[in-house]
Amino acid sequence: MTVEASFTHVFARALLGEPTVVVGLGDDPLVLPVASWTRAADHADHRLLALCVGPTIDIGCGPGRLTEALAELGHVTLGIDVVDAAVRLTRSRGATAILRDVFTDLPGEGRWHTALLADGNVGIGGDPTGLLRRVREILDPRGRIVVEVAGPTVPSSSGWASLEGGEHRSRPFRWAVVGLDDVPALAGAVGLVVDGVHHLDDRWVAVLREERR
């Protein structure tokens, strides 16, 4: 029998090792790649982090592999996540993290030089346009957004998804996928331009910034 639970409850259990899948984003369940989030940052991660400049906020930091690596590289860094277990794991790595939703007040608003949206976190809330508008408020006007997206030819989409692990299924939450081909239009819709696109092994990353006048 499947028991309905909160997203945070099911995600926390996943971080503790319970095999978990995402349902609703496609025809088949997708395995939640927890192992890749809980390991140390790898070569591709470090290539991604090389795109971050100055003080960096890691939005949806999860268990903190990138927040930790940013701090080790000398950045002033803050991880934020809505799952307490994720925040605790990030702190256990020696990195700074707080339990916070990106749409609530955040420390240092208007002063961050880089906002990092890795591991598909541009999908948070199911509304990439609204999310990027909010991230612009967090950034210094000269700052940049480093955003990992799906590859070329992958269609952008938005909808409801759930996590399933063990006997638990999370209540539905909104999520989105942004394909690389749609990034210029998405950036333009919120007053940003694409400053570069980077193919990092099997990952695609775009750097967005305000248009210079």
Place of tokens 């707080």: 98
Region of 25 (left: φ > 0; alpha: ψ -120 to 50; beta: rest) is alpha
pLDDT single digits (tens) 162-193: 999 999 999 999 999 999 999 999 999 999 99
How far apart are alpha carbons 169 and 154 in whole angstroms?
A: 27
Our measurement of the distance from residue 115's CA atom to the centroid of its chain's CA atoms, rounded to an integer in Å, reads 10
pLDDT single digits (tens) 63-95: 999 999 999 999 999 999 999 999 999 999 999
Residues 31-49, mean pLDDT to the nearest whole number: 95
3-state secondary structure of 195: strand
How far apart are alpha carbons 74 and 52 in whole angstroms?
A: 11
Let me know if 207 is exposed, middle or buried by CB neighbors in 10 A (0-12, 13-18, 19+): buried
Alpha-helical segments (H) within 73-158: 84-92, 128-138
Q: Give the CATH number of domain 42-155+174-210; options: 3.30.70.520, 3.40.50.150, 3.30.300.30, 3.40.50.300.
A: 3.40.50.150
pLDDT single digits (tens) 147-170: 999 999 999 999 999 999 999 999
Which phi and psi angles does 126 have, rounded to 5°?
A: 75, 10
Which residue ranges make up each domain of the chain? 42-155+174-210
3-state secondary structure of 14: helix
Per-residue pLDDT at 213: 62
What does the DSSP 8-state code read for residue 154?
Answer: P
Per-residue pLDDT at 129: 98
Q: State both tokens at 105.
A: 């007040």
Percent of the chain with pLDDT over 90: 94
pLDDT band at 32 (very low <50, low <70, confident <90, very high): very high
How far apart are alpha carbons 98 and 108 in whole angstroms?
A: 13
pLDDT band at 123 (very low <50, low <70, confident <90, very high): very high
Per-residue pLDDT at 27: 82
**In the predicted structure, residue 21 carries a pLDDT above the cut 70:** yes
* pTM exceeds 0.85 for this model: yes
**In the predicted structure, residue 1 carries a pLDDT above the cut 80:** no
pLDDT band at 25 (very low <50, low <70, confident <90, very high): confident
Long-range Cβ pairs for the range 203-207 (8 Å, 24+)? 203/44, 203/48, 203/148, 204/148, 204/149, 204/150, 204/151, 204/152, 204/180, 205/48, 205/51, 205/146, 205/147, 205/148, 205/149, 206/146, 206/147, 206/149, 206/180, 207/51, 207/144, 207/145, 207/146, 207/147
What's the mean pLDDT when you consider all of the chain? 96
